[in-house]
Structures are given as structure tokens and as C-alpha cells.
Amino acid sequence: MKFRLDPAKSRLEALLFEDPRTNNSGRSHDHVVVATGWEGQLAWDPDGVCTGVVTLPVAGLVPDADADRARHGLSDPLSAVDRELVGLHMLARDQLDAARFPTISYTVDGCVAKDAGRWVIVGKLNLHGVSAPVPVALTGTFGPQGLELKGQANISQARFGITPYMALFGQRRNQDAIQILIDIKGSPVP
């Protein structure tokens, strides 16, 4: 079966956390970044063979909306100025470098069934000009009515050539690890 993923009914998010080992820990912020403007498709048959791709524009990444921060239990909402600064830093040359690498993609190469309703998707994440394998643990269902999958993956910024954001000569910085949260829904393609 082939499915068209529905961004309007789905969520792709990244959680980034400040490094608690810094001198100014607590003065920085944890972050939630939501992907918008993305598209994707997935072909999955009952034997567990799957392929697909999800592509998202780096410029469509939205950091720290109040509702998203509240949903994840992050500290107080950021001011409009702080949100804008986070967005600018995130897209800057020393971070995602959106001008040189305007898209992020994930290519699905296969699926491994763990037990009923649980899989590990095997694929490659293309981020910041680097392609690397990233397994994604998912639970959910798929069939003639549609596809619903939830799960997460963890990635290292350094693995993709990105140095975690830092300021004040390293007295404030983010951790290298990023947690990717996935909640996708899709409709069958005739």
C-alpha cells in the first residue's frame, strides 16, 4: 500500500536541551522546534517491506511557539524577541546553514517488525549536507483506512557536522543530542 502523509494531521518535532554543565545553566532555554511545510509518502506492504521519503524545508522550522512549549512542559514562554533570535540562530551559517542546505530529508529503506504494532524504520537522514543512518522506533497501524504512526529517534548534531549552539564563550550552550518526535497520519494513495 502507498500512503500520502498528511502534515495537517501530523506533527514532526525536535527537542533540544541546554547543557546543564555550563556556568550559566538555567539562564538559557530548552527548545521545541516544529516542522511545517513538509511532505512525504510511504509505501508499506503486509510483509513489512517499506520505502518512502519525507522532505521538509529548513525555513519551515518554527521554534518555541507558546503552545508547543507548554505541551512539552518547557519553562515559561519566550518573548517574541527571544523566539526571533532563536529562529535566526537556528538558520544561521554556524548552525543549520539554511542558505546552503535548504532542505532536510529522511529516506526510508526498510522496516523491521518488533512485534504487533511495533517497528523500527531503517533509513537515512540528510541534514546539513550529511547523510547518515538513523533508525526510528515506531508504534501504530496501517491498512486500507490509512496509516497512523508515533515514535521517536535521537540524533547527534556533531554527526551531521553541526556544533551545538553556544554563546558567551561556551558559558551557555545546547547539548549535542536532539530528540525527534514523530506523530504522522497518512491516507492511502489509489
Q: Write a three-state SS string for the chain.
A: CEEEECHHHCEEEEEEEECCCCCCCCCCCCEEEEECCCEEEEEECCCCCEEEEEEEEHHHEEECCHHHHHHCCCCCCCCHHHHHHHHHHHHCCCCCCCCCCCEEEEEEEEEEEEECCEEEEEEEEEECCEEEECCEEEEEEEECCEEEEEEEEEEECHHHCCCCCEEHHHCEEEEEEEEEEEEEEEEECC
For residue range 88-109, list pLDDT tens digits in order.
988 988 889 999 999 999 999 9
Number of domains in the chain: 1
CATH number of the domain where residue 142 is located = 2.40.128.110
Full-model pTM: 0.88
For residue range 101-160, list pLDDT tens digits in order.
999 999 999 988 888 889 899 999 999 999 999 999 999 988 889 999 999 999 999 999
Domain of 21, in residue numbers:
2-188
